[in-house]
Structure 1
Amino acid sequence: MKKILTCTVLAGVLVAGIVTSSSPDSRADPNSQLVMTTYGVGTGTYNDLAAVSDSLTRVQGTQVRILTSDTSIGRVAPLKAGSAQFSRMGDEYYFGFEGIQDFSSENWGPQDLRVVWAPMGNYGLMTRTDAGIETFEDLKGKKFPRVTANTSINIKLEAYLAYGGLTWDDVEPVDVSYSDQTEALETGRLDVLFSSAYGSNLEELASTVDVDWMSMDDDSPEKMAAVNELAPMVTIGEFSGAPGMEEGESARNFAYTVPLSTYADTDEQQVYDLVKAMDENFDRYENTTPSAGEFALDKVLTDPLVVPFHPGTVRYLEEQGLWTDEAEQRNNDLVERQAALQAGWDAFIGPADKGNLAQEWTAWKEEHLDD
């Protein structure tokens, strides 16, 4: 009889920076209640996670409690404290691993994180047709979004500019929240917006404004190197059928994961049981949200990019014939990198200028770790 994890979703709210105290060993107990963190109630990431958990509730197993936070630190802190085992994270899975951005602080530094399950998503730049933007070089001088309180998106926006040989100095930055971009494009406050490729808000926008999707058709080494230097967590993917597209039209743009992640010391069997349950019960939740279908085994990322996969996930992928020698080597290299980052941080943090940690840590890594 197959072993299946079952969940009961208990919606919880996490105030950023405040976590419930618990034993550090709670991550290593596969029989304890599972606690997961993610973005706020109503976001796509929350809805996906709730749908997965709710579907698994229908089969006997472990309860799951979902804690929400709008900040990267708020989503990772419960894992570090041991009061949560898993998190559906944004780019903080990479930022934490490297000890950069919000994690360049005395209380954090490099975190020994691992990817558990990595559904992919397509994202891109949508423009007003009347803005006259046909190439990425044409973004020069245009009203370009700078999304408030969202470092991970702004890094990707900077990477788009680099693809066109541009920087923030070459565009007219418009500070705007992620959700307000559609209205800003409609009213002309923006010439371009950044979004996932699908969504009802984009459908509504495309019904009132002529729009186009930019496409990264030039994959020359120079352009790809410019993107990778700023946003190594992205790949280039192709999508079609997005709002504003004609039948048969497609665009090449960013594809990246908002993965379910955990720390390296989370029990291997617990991780294995979870990923097996998500796979074997996929038909229970695949149509419950617009993006839940990306949790399918044949769609998730199976090759490590910037953070290693957890051993429990590796074991399941091996059983499914989806773990290659190349993936194993890349995973081992990333595990070794984390060990070097941890050792490097321990040597770095003592004499470092505490008021300038982010810049000094980046410079230290470039000198000691990066080619």
Structure 2
Amino acid sequence: MTRFTRALASITTSVMLLSGCAQLELNQEVDDFPAFNAWSTYGTATSTYADVAAVANTISNEEDSQIRILTSDTGVGRLSPLRNKQATMARTGDEYIFAFHGEEDFTTADWGPQDVRMVWTPTAPHGMMSRVGSGIDSPADLKGKKVPWATANPSVQNKVEAYLAYGGLTWDDVERVDISYSEQPAALQAGQIDALFLQVYGSSLYELEAAIDTQWLELDPEDTEAVEAVAEVAPSVEIGPFENAAGQEEGQSDNGFIYAVPFVSYNELSDTQAYQTAKAFQEHYPKYKDATATTLNWDLEHVFTTPVQVPFHDGTVEFLEEHGAWTEEAEQRNQELIAYGQEMRATWPDFLAQADTSGDLKQQWMDWKDEHLEPID
């Protein structure tokens, strides 16, 4: 049993998986951490789930509360419980960005731009892995290879596209294989894909390395042209090092994509619930920081505290202000994003009224925003 699976096995049954739950009172004001919460996130074989479960277990015990976890392999599946008031928060991939801007899987008549806000923003390393001896040592080597297209997961699709861009490639240069996010390790072992993209500490990757020899694709953070190509496709990403992951020897370091995998909510969540959640993450950090390989990145010293593409919740802003972690620049950017979100949501009905629903709705929405909204950098 690996250190990852030992950490996961230690999580108590007070953190439960649900297929659904009753609607929650998101606008309820609280004086302490809520007695009941439901959070959604990735599936149980992922390191993202292990992080969430370990933190939820700690907070449940310390706050004498109940936190239930709903899981999904898809971006829409992780945000739907928030929209349906079956969860207060979701720990997501970049679908929180796409939902805010009404892009990718959210450019549909049923969704459109959503009033989502960031509550807590821990980071995690992700990377692309291949078989040792496959000849796929860097992103450029993916040309002509079988590359995963994570179904209904635009965040992962975007990151794989960024890996391709690093190597000077596009989707037209590879064989696209439709596959769910969690199926990738088994598919790599079976030869159905030639590389995979996952958070580097996923339990399924430790199981995979017991069956085949694996390696991480090489990235050079000093390669300015390649780094700029990544930023063009995935602006939320930084290239940085990670250690002690599956497929690595002791002391080995590789570079991957480092980006926030945040807890988000809808703006209608009360300020006090967002504030008490941020407070609990920080206050109980010493008790959960060593639970998994990435929970060390969950305190104020490591989380992102400046909004880039999605605004922070007012309750979190209050908490950050109290701890000297909120700047004038962050406040200005936050207000710009809030105003831009309001404009997007206000113009969405007008866009739908004139849209050609039989055509490319995604491109039409991008063109509409370019024509009717002031751009935001």
TM-score tier by shorter-chain length is 0.7 to 0.9
Q: Secondary structure at the match of 2:278?
A: helix
Letter in 2 for 1:27: L
Aligned residue number for residue 27 of structure 1: 26
1:141-196 deviation per Cα after TM superposition (whole angstroms, max 9, x unaligned): 22322334433212211111112111112123334443343344345443322222
What residue is the counterpart of 2:195 in the other structure?
A: 192
**Which residue in the other structure is 2:97 paired with?**
94
CA contact under 8 A between 2:38 and 2:70: conserved in structure 1?
yes
Aligned AA for 2:298? F
CA distance in 1, matches of 2:98, 2:250: 38
Which residues of structure 1 form unaligned runs of 5+? 1-7
Contact 2:147 2:175 in 1 (8 A): yes
Residue number among 126, 131, 135 corresponding to 1:132 in the alignment: 135
In 2, distance between residues paired with 1:220 and 1:340?
Answer: 38
Using a 3 Å threshold, how does the CA distance of structure 1 residues 125 and 44 change in structure 2: closer, same or farther?
Answer: closer
Instruction: Report the CA distance between 1:43 and its aligned residue.
Output: 4.3
**Percent of matched pairs sharing the same residue:** 45
Deviation at 1:211, TM superposition (A): 3.4
Unpaired runs of 5+ residues, structure 2, are 1-13
Deviations 1:230-276 (A, max 9, x none): 32332222212333334543222211222111112321122111111
2:55 paired with 1:12: no
Larger mean Cα displacement after TM superposition, 220-229 or 233-242: 220-229
Partner secondary structure for residue 354 of structure 1: coil
* Partner of residue 274, structure 1: 277
Q: Which residue of structure 1 lines up, in the alignment, with residue 367 of structure 2?
A: 363
Cα drift, residue 52 of structure 1: 2.1
Between 250-259 and 178-187, report the one with greater CA deviation: 178-187
Tell me whether 1:330 sits opposite 2:333 in the alignment. yes
Amino acid aligned to 2:19: V
Distance 1:34 1:217, change over 3 A: same
Tell me if structure 2 keeps the 8 A contact 1:20–1:78: no
Q: Counterparts in 2 of 1:236-315, with a 5 A limit?
A: 236-315=239-318
Tell me the matched-pair count: 357
Looking at structure 2, the residues matched to 35 and 240 of structure 1 have their Cα atoms a distance apart, in angstroms, of 32
Local SS of the residue matching 1:251: strand
TM-score normalised over the length of structure 2: 0.83
> Over aligned residues, Cα RMSD in angstroms?
2.8
Cα 1:268/1:61, change in 2 over 3 Å: farther
Q: Give the partner amino acid of 1:137.
A: A
Report the counterpart of residue 110 of structure 2 in structure 1: 107
| Conserved? CA contact 2:47–2:203, under 8 Å | no
The answer to whether the 8 A contact 2:107-2:362 is kept is yes
Partner of 2:9: none
In structure 1, the residue matched to 2:159 is 156
Residue 56 of structure 2 corresponds to 53
Shift of 1:61: 5.2
Q: Secondary structure at the match of 1:108?
A: coil
Please state if 1:76 is matched with 2:79.
Answer: yes
Show CA shifts across 1:323-349 (max 9, x none).
Answer: 233322322222222122122313312
Q: Which amino acid aligns with 2:78?
A: R
Distance 2:66 2:138 in 1: 50
Q: What SS class does the counterpart of residue 36 from structure 1 fall into?
A: strand
